Amino acid sequence: MLVPEDRYLLTISGRDSPGLAAEVFAAAAAVATEITDIGQITIRGHLVLCIEVQLRPGATVEQLAEAVEASGVEAARAVTVEISSSTERAEPEGRRLLVTLVSRVIEPGSLGAVFSTIAACGGDVERIVRLGDRPVQAYELLVRGTQHEELRASLGRLAVAESIDIAVQRAGLHRRAKRLIVMDADSTLLKGEVIDRLAGRLGIEDRVAAITEAAMAGELDFAEALRERVALLAGLPLADIEGVADELELMPGARTLLRTLQRLGYLTAVVSGGFTQVIAPLLAELGIDHLAANELEVVDGVATGGLIGPIIDRQAKAEALARFADEEGVPVGQVVAVGDGANDIDMLQVAGLGIAFNARPIVREAADTALSVPYLDAVLFMLGISREEIDAADQDG
């Protein structure tokens, strides 16, 4: 984009104080007709304020400098004001992309590698926003001048090398429009696997857990593995099933994630290979709008080792996501899906944004992005929601 030669950038840096910007604007008004761009950031009380101005016809940059000097703002406010031509640096071409970084600790070397990778792809970082510093660190970068797939592939390799989570998304209204979140239950919304807990009541947890692990890693057909595991539960009393339901533990950050998204008007759904008798009571308490899960067959208060109805497997999960979206009038492109196992792959790929949460490599490779931190509310950072906004919403009730 061409920039008129009579546009200049004022960069003010130093300690922030009330009224500082007002004095700079008043000084610029003497020789400028328009403020054409503005940006500000304040970190620990230190201000960097950039103001692009359009000079009046016949006015000069020398007159702009004299107006700023005459205002006394530099001496009075103990700040530095620099003036440069807006044409000195061309604005990069291309659509804007959002790069989200999440990790327990983001080290300088890792951050430097991210910026080097962006530059190597021809990109330029226009803005940096800190999304959060607890329980993990998260930053969002606005990047321009590079291609989505190229940057995603390059940063994907870097994410593995540096052990940090990096998401690359297109900026725009579609990102803000997401209105339905669909989650897996076991090892995503909930800690551990429900069926393993049920097996523990019969003392066969190790046998069932081994089958579960193979199925989640994609080594066994999920439906076949589920039938095999459920058959081992034959004879389990209903009282034990209800006891497991009472013992369920949410993943850290799950309540924060749901509470925040529900305040924003999101619809919520759980699509699980687990069992309605176990998870439905907790999901009702959480205000989940939709549920699709398997149902254990119970006769005379005892599990028979069979299931009632169709199995919620990999394909059924994706179909449930599409069905819920259709029922609510939400385009599939505005759905966020979160899961950890191989049976979640189809729904992660169908959704507008698929997030692999502490997932196996096969799932991470299939998803749009991945989170490896054990806090479910880190999903909010991928949606551009900051910790400050989360805390403010909690305070407002």
Q: Could you check whether 7-88 and 180-366 share the same CATH topology?
A: no
Across the chain, which has 397 residues, the per-10-residue mean pLDDT values are 74 94 92 92 92 93 93 91 78 80 95 96 93 94 93 93 93 79 97 94 93 85 92 96 96 97 95 96 97 97 96 96 97 95 95 95 92 96 93 83
For residue 267, what are the contacts with CB-CB under 8 A and spacing of at least 6? 179, 180, 181, 289, 290, 324, 328, 330
| Per annotation, catalytic residue among 6, 16, 165, 186 | 186
Phi and psi at 277, nearest 5°, equal: -60, -25
Q: How far apart are the first and last CA of the chain?
A: 45
Q: Would you call 165 a catalytic residue per the annotation?
A: no
CATH topology of domain 180-366: Rossmann fold (3.40.50)
Instruction: Give the pLDDT of residue 1.
Output: 46
Let me know: does 342 contact 273? Beta carbons within 8 Å.
Answer: no
Give the separation between CA 127 and CA 39, rounded to whole angstroms: 10
- The domain locations on the chain are 7-88, 96-171, 180-366
Name the active-site residue from 184, 196, 346, 377: 184
Structure tokens belonging to residue 297: 């067959």
**Domain 7-88 has what CATH class?**
alpha beta
Counted residue by residue, the chain has a size of 397
| Three-state SS sequence of 162-206 | HCCEEEEEECCHHHHCCCEEEECCECCCECCCHHHHHHHCCCCHH
95 phi/psi in degrees, rounded to 5: -75, 155
For residue 90, the model assigns a pLDDT of 53
Alpha carbon 149 to chain centroid distance?
Answer: 18
SS3 label, residue 317: helix
CA proximity to 174, closest of 18, 384, 388: 384
Name, in order, each residue with C-beta under 8 angstroms of 317's C-beta and a sequence gap of 6 or more. 184, 271, 273, 292, 339, 343, 344, 346, 347
Is the domain 96-171 a CATH 3.30.70.260 member?
Answer: yes
Query: Tokens for 1?
Result: 């984009």
CA distances from 11 to 24, 50, 51, 52, 91 (A): 10, 5, 7, 9, 17
- Tell me the DSSP string of 12-53: EEEE--TTHHHHHHHHHTTTEEEEEEEEEEEETTEEEEEEEE
What is the spatial distance between Cα 347 and Cα 184, in angstroms, rounded to a whole number? 10
Q: In whole angstroms, what is the distance from residue 101 CA to residue 114 CA?
A: 9
pLDDT at 328: 96
Q: Is 186 an annotated catalytic residue?
A: yes
DSSP bridge partners of 124: 144
